[in-house]
Structure 1
């Protein structure tokens, strides 16, 4: 059972996740040529898929948290396990694409981010399955926030197919733009 003080958080997170999913569909439809080009296909598909996955993850956990009397433990374990499995599948896809020289091997951070999110979610869910743990519920709330932030960063990368992280931004400012990458 989720305490009432978390209700507003889950309502806000569910609304934000739903809106971001809609915007992601717009971003994907604006640049369909990136999904077809050999040089950008893997980056585009993995980023779009990762963004959709974490937005959906945030939406599902938030909606499940609004169901009266529900225990979020199993929801979190299953959703977190799904994120981890997707991360492993993405790692395999990126490695295969790098071998065929269709993509650079820079997508390791995409996989690492998903593994961190999924790992914390499974951890919090496992703690909630055994007994209600306010610390685990708070961890799960931070996972939902992380889902939204991570999804936004991946969706933003779809627009220009470039890394928007701190390191690559500093390289760009310094005039050492590395082009496509993660």
Structure 2
């Protein structure tokens, strides 16, 4: 039986996750057309998928925790495996990054792998002892981490730029724009792009 204080948390988390997922779909529908272009298409799709994945993970965990008598450990372990599969797949993706150079989303995968470690660990503990409140508390923090991670990815989608710590510091120090938005801007500023077709 889930203690009442944890039930209240999961009820609030499920509501917040549902609202954020809806806002993510709004952000995707209002995204600039350049998101589908060669400078940002793969970057955009990878982060949109990552945001939807962590929001779905948080929502499923929150709703499963509210089902009476549910084995929350199985839900947690299964969610961790799903996030792990996406993180490994993301490492195989080559994205257009700084100055148009293709790179891999290592930061994105690292964040997802951190979520995976704690989610599977909590799931295994709950499978061994379903009343382990320490593991339930870890899942609460994990849901919060899912929401923070998802909001960060959604913010990158809305602004079409990398908002990570290193990139933000680089922007403050050098005034240097990075990410698909900057790539698209450099491409549009290239005089050769203004040539008529066949010219």
Aligned match of 1:76: 76
Per-residue CA distance 1:30-61 (angstroms, 9 max, x = gap): 11524420110111001100000000100000
Per-residue CA distance 1:43-86 (angstroms, 9 max, x = gap): 10011000000001000000001111212100000011100001
Aligned match of 2:172: 173
Of 72-81 and 104-113, more deviation after overlay is shown by 104-113
Aligned match of 1:108: 106
Aligned match of 2:117: 119
Per-residue CA distance 1:94-125 (angstroms, 9 max, x = gap): 3xx56xx9763252110111111112101100
- Structure 2 residue runs without a partner (length 5+): 181-199
Corresponding position: 1:62 with 2:52:
no
Q: Tell me how large the CA RMSD over aligned residues is.
A: 1.8
Report deviation, 1:89.
0.8
Aligned match of 1:42: 42
C-alpha distance in structure 2 between counterparts of 1:16 and 1:34, whole Å: 30
Structure 1 or 2: larger helix share? 1
Report deviation, 1:165.
2.3
How many residue pairs get matched? 177
Tell me if structure 2 keeps the 8 A contact 1:51–1:150.
yes
Q: Which has the larger radius of gyration?
A: 2
C-alpha distance in structure 2 between counterparts of 1:176 and 1:124, whole Å: 42
Report deviation, 1:144.
0.4
Residue 93 of structure 1 aligns to a residue whose secondary structure is coil
